[in-house]
C-alpha cells in the first residue's frame, strides 16, 4: 500500500465534467508531503493498480445531483458512495464504483475512500467550465485539503 492517493477524474472538453482535473491542478500546488497525485482523466481500468495500492483514496470529480444547485461541493464517503451511480455525468463515474468493487474482489482496496464532488451544470462538448462550477473550485480544493489534513495529522 502506497498511503494517500488523490485522483482527479473528468474530461475538460465536456464543460463542467473537467472540474475534477481543475481541483487536482490546484491541489497539486499545495504540495502535501506523502501524497500521490494522479490525473485520471477519463481512464478506466488503467487506474486500478493505483486504487489497489492506496491505503486512503481521495477522488475529485464532477457529479450530478438533482437535489443540489450547480456549483455545490459535496463530500461523499462510506455508505454515501453509491449515490455516484445516480449522479453519473459520463461513464467514468460508473467506472469508479466498478473499479472500487474490482479492487475489493481482488483483495486489495483502500481502507478509506472519499469523493469531493462538484455538482455540474453542463456537460456538453465545450472547453471550459460554467461560471458557477468554476467558482466552486476553491471551495472543493479547501474541502479536499481538509480531508488530506485529517489523514496526515
> For the segment 103-129, what is each residue's pLDDT rounded down to a tens digit?
999 999 999 999 999 999 998 899 999
How far apart CA 134 and CA 123 sit, in angstroms, is: 13
**Number of domains the chain contains:** 1
pTM value?
0.91
How far apart CA 106 and CA 39 sit, in angstroms, is: 23
Q: Hey, what's the cell of 26?
A: 490546484
Q: In what order do the strands lie in the sheet with 112-119?
A: 35-41, 3-9, 54-63, 112-119, 73-77
Q: What is the pLDDT of residue 90?
A: 54
Range of the domain at 38: 3-152
State the residue for C-alpha cell 465536456: 14
Q: Hey, what's the cell of 140?
A: 472543493
| Helical pair 131-152 and 19-29, crossing angle rounded to 10 deg | 50
Those residues of the chain that have pLDDT short of 70 are: 1-2, 83-95
Integer-rounded Cα Rg, in Å, for the chain is: 14
Q: What is the pLDDT of residue 94?
A: 45
Q: In CATH, what number is assigned to the domain containing residue 120?
A: 3.40.50.1450
Q: What is the pLDDT of residue 51?
A: 93
Amino acid at each position: 500500500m502506497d498511503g494517500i492517493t488523490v485522483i482527479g477524474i473528468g474530461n475538460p472538453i465536456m464543460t463542467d465534467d473537467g472540474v475534477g482535473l481543475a481541483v487536482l491542478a490546484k491541489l497539486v500546488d499545495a504540495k502535501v508531503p506523502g501524497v500521490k497525485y494522479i490525473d485520471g482523466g477519463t481512464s478506466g481500468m488503467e487506474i486500478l493498480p493505483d486504487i489497489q495500492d492506496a491505503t486512503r483514496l481521495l477522488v475529485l470529480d464532477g457529479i450530478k445531483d438533482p437535489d443540489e444547485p450547480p456549483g455545490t461541493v459535496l463530500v461523499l464517503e462510506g455508505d454515501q458512495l453509491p449515490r455516484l451511480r445516480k449522479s453519473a455525468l459520463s461513464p467514468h463515474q460508473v467506472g469508479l464504483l466498478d473499479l472500487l468493487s474490482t479492487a475489493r474482489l481482488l483483495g486489495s482496496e483502500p481502507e478509506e475512500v472519499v469523493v469531493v464532488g462538484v455538482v455540474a451544470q453542463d456537460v456538453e462538448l465545450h472547453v471550459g467550465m460554467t461560471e458557477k462550477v468554476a467558482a466552486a473550485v476553491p471551495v472543493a480544493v479547501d474541502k479536499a485539503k481538509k480531508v488530506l489534513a485529517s489523514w496526515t495529522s
